[in-house]
């Protein structure tokens, strides 16, 4: 579903990425959506907003190239679709937070789904908005997140928290990741496969990447990751990655 607005753009106008560090007053945004029409609509929304600048964009098909591009352009915010061709937007958001902790992520979706919102809460994204949002709402969301806030459309956050509480009664979302300590005798807690997968999580690998590295079905990888979370007491991939790094796993 494309995002449209009433801003007119001259046919000769061409979008050019800004150079990192060129302006300190603008919020730098990187777009990720596998539909060109959506990315074009977003560019039109921001073309006349002097405080928001698009520094890059990608369709999300090439995982490594995308992360490298984000590292090069140094965006303040990544505005990203949840459903990408060949890639899970939520897993990608975790990858971004590991590689660039200061970069914030706003998920953009065509579906106001409680399940998606709960998943977004689990992955600790900074915003969750729909593609049907108005120009003003999207711009305001970006400005608020850039200032350190969090933006969730409508009452979907309320439903997401209820869903989280129902499925995770003993844990809460957004648990600080710097309060846990490495477990002594880690090898007594985890199997050799789980340790290998935990190391891979610390390196920022997605389930798909881990599946390829160890020649395991992706379903097995997902179950292994879930078991690791339970055993080391974390609730998401970012926390697991930090745990691996603090435990000296390489």
Cβ-proximal residues to 113 (8 Å cutoff; 6+ apart), any chain: none
Q: What are 152's two structure tokens? A: 């969730």
Contact 81, 108 (CB under 8 A): yes
Tens digits of residue pLDDT in 166-216:
444 444 444 433 444 444 567 667 887 888 899 998 888 888 899 888 888
**Mean pLDDT on 225-249:** 82
CATH for 186-246 (3.30.465.10, 1.10.10.10, 3.40.630.10, 3.40.50.10090): 1.10.10.10
Query: 186-246: same fold as 27-167?
Result: no
**CATH code at 27-167:** 3.40.50.2300
pLDDT band at 159 (very low <50, low <70, confident <90, very high): low
Domain positions in the chain are 27-167, 186-246
Q: What are 214's two structure tokens? A: 């160890």
**Mean pLDDT on 56-66:** 88
Q: Shortest CA distance to 92 belongs to which of 125, 138, 116?
A: 125
d(CA 250, CA 246): 10
């Amino acid at each position: 579903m494309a995002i449209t607005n009433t801003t007119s753009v001259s046919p000769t106008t061409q979008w050019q990425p800004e150079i990192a560090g060129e302006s300190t007053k603008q919020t730098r945004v990187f777009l990720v959506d596998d539909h060109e029409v959506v990315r074009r609509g977003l560019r039109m929304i921001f073309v006349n907003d002097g405080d928001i600048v698009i520094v890059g964009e990608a369709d999300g098909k090439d995982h490594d190239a995308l992360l490298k591009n984000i590292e090069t352009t140094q965006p303040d915010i990544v505005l990203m679709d949840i459903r990408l061709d060949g890639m899970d937007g939520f897993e990608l958001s975790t990858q971004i937070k590991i590689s660039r902790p200061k970069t914030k992520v706003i998920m953009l979706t065509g579906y106001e789904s409680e399940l998606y919102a709960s998943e977004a809460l689990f992955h600790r994204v900074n915003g969750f908005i729909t593609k049907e949002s108005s120009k003003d709402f999207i711009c305001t969301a970006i400005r608020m997140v850039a200032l350190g806030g969090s933006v969730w459309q409508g009452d979907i956050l309320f439903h997401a928290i209820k869903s989280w509480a129902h499925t995770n009664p003993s844990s809460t979302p957004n648990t600080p990741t710097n309060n846990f300590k490495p477990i002594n005798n880690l090898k007594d807690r985890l199997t050799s496969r789980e340790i290998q997968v935990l190391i891979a999580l610390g390196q920022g690998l997605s389930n798909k990447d881990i599946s390829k590295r160890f020649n395991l079905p992706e379903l097995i990888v997902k179950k292994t990751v879930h078991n690791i979370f339970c055993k080391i007491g974390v609730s998401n991939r970012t926390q697991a990655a930090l745990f691996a790094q603090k435990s000296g796993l390489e």
